[in-house]
Structure 1
Amino acid sequence: MSSKEKPTLGGTRIKTRKRNIAAPLDPAAFADVVVQIYLDNDGDLELVAKNVESSDLNFSRYGDTFFEVAFTGGRTQPGTIKPDEGERHPYSIIECEANREAILPSVIYENERKKLAIFTALAFSQKLSGLPPEAVFQPLLKDNLVGKGLVLPFITDFFKEYLVDNSLEDLISILKRGKMEDNLMEFFPSAKRSAEGFSEHFT
């Protein structure tokens, strides 16, 4: 053995230090920062938007968390809109008046489903969320939701709101990314799932 070589134990693997380790996901900390921005600006959407835009928040990683905070006021328990642990703010979409002006700084709408459709469309239109379209559209295809007629009004309001500021080509692009461009009929209850029903609804 050369005098320059360091002795090692037989059969022992020398471990090397890993580099470029990605920081662990911390949606709770991200959510708390966004909530604090809402609180500091008393829910003024224009000021909130300016502060969010000038921040170093990682929306590509936490877009879905931002969506939660903006819509419900804070983080929610998985698969529900029940509050999770962490800070919350009272200026959420779900608490505001159900009209476009209130959601994006006077037509009054009836329920939270329409609020969600409008906000979802605005989130994609204004690129506020890193949430992939597939994560929004695919859960809507549950038989019980479609059968009760809950999905079609939602998706119709989503289309209408999205097309206010975007082209039909943009909408088709989102549907393709959501793997829905050839499956729009699946949003219809079975009794209305026909070419005639589709044409009648969207004309």
Structure 2
Amino acid sequence: MNKHQKPVLTGQRFKTRKRDEKEKFEPTVFRDTLVQGLNEAGDDLEAVAKFLDSTGSRLDYRRYADTLFDILVAGSMLAPGGTRIDDGDKTKMTNHCVFSANEDHETIRNYAQVFNKLIRRYKYLEKAFEDEMKKLLLFLKAFSEAEQTKLAMLSGILLGNGTLPATILTSLFTDSLVKEGIAASFAVKLFKAWMAEKDANSVTSSLR
């Protein structure tokens, strides 16, 4: 009987490995797993942080960092320019993200803590997150005014607690963002959130 059991057990182990590989190396499966986990955690940001912490050993955060942060901020994978790739299929999106959060400082600060915990746990995401935020600032025109406000608040809070460097602000100097007044409006909201976290001297020294 043992002779018959071995191939079955081996096959099961092989299937598990193949499934894990699929989750690590297929962006759509990565997205689906992430969206499902966020939807299950719901508005409990402590549960979201725990899910992201534990799932990092199973999903390839390093390879798909842009997808990870797109979904945490916008609820969906983003195409170049900032449009949502899965806008037509709500099953591939989540409302449990920064853009769907309430527009108040305390709520956005709680979301900032999710990013802080994630990056402390997976230090290699630090540079990827910086690149993501630079990209999102370039995409501002694609986002609604409310989404821009929440992104400005998140950026200000993360600048205040040192998770992000002030160099991300260079993205705001894009001609189109400056000419249309988007950069100025965004900067005002960002600095307001930053000043709520740190005093003026601290903000000034970060910009030097």
Normalised by the length of structure 2, the TM-score is 0.53
Report how far residue 152 of structure 1 moved.
1.5
Counterpart Cα distance in 2 of 1:60 and 1:79: 22
Report how far residue 62 of structure 1 moved.
4.3
SS in 2 for 1:111: helix
Per the alignment, do residues 128 and 144 of structure 1 end up closer, same or farther by CA in structure 2, a change over 3 Å counting?
Answer: same
Counterpart Cα distance in 1 of 2:66 and 2:155: 11
Per the alignment, do residues 133 and 54 of structure 1 end up closer, same or farther by CA in structure 2, a change over 3 Å counting?
Answer: farther
Per the alignment, do residues 29 and 38 of structure 1 end up closer, same or farther by CA in structure 2, a change over 3 Å counting?
Answer: same
Matched positions, count: 145
Per the alignment, do residues 32 and 133 of structure 1 end up closer, same or farther by CA in structure 2, a change over 3 Å counting?
Answer: farther
After TM superposition, list the pairs within 5 Å mapping 1:3-18 onto structure 2: none
Q: Deviations over 1:122-157 (max 9, x none)?
A: 45556778xx865x4333222222122211221232
Long gaps (5+) in structure 2: 1-23, 111-144
Counterpart Cα distance in 1 of 2:95 and 2:197: 28
Per the alignment, do residues 163 and 66 of structure 1 end up closer, same or farther by CA in structure 2, a change over 3 Å counting?
Answer: farther
| Partners of 1:100 and 1:118 within 8 A in 2 | yes
Aligned twin of 1:54: 54
SS in 2 for 1:104: helix
Q: 2:171 aligns with which of 139, 143, 148?
A: 139
Once superposed, what is the RMSD of the aligned Cα atoms? 3.6
Report how far residue 73 of structure 1 moved.
0.7
Counterpart Cα distance in 1 of 2:35 and 2:162: 19
Aligned twin of 2:94: 89
Runs of 4+ in 1 over 6 A off after TM superposition: 126-129
- Asked if 1:111 corresponds to 2:113, the answer is no
Q: Deviations over 1:70-100 (max 9, x none)?
A: 2211211122232348821122222222112
Aligned twin of 1:12: none
| Partners of 1:117 and 1:155 within 8 A in 2 | yes
| Partners of 1:68 and 1:74 within 8 A in 2 | yes
Aligned twin of 1:148: 180
| Partners of 1:68 and 1:76 within 8 A in 2 | yes
- Identity, % of aligned positions: 28
| Partners of 2:76 and 2:84 within 8 A in 1 | no
After TM superposition, list the pairs within 5 Å mapping 1:1-203 onto structure 2: 27-56=27-56, 62-84=64-86, 87-105=92-110, 111-123=146-158, 134=167, 136-166=168-198, 169=202, 172-173=205-206, 181=208
Normalised by the length of structure 1, the TM-score is 0.54
Long gaps (5+) in structure 1: 1-23, 176-180, 182-203
Of 118-127 and 140-149, deviating more is 118-127
Which structure features the higher share of helix residues? 2
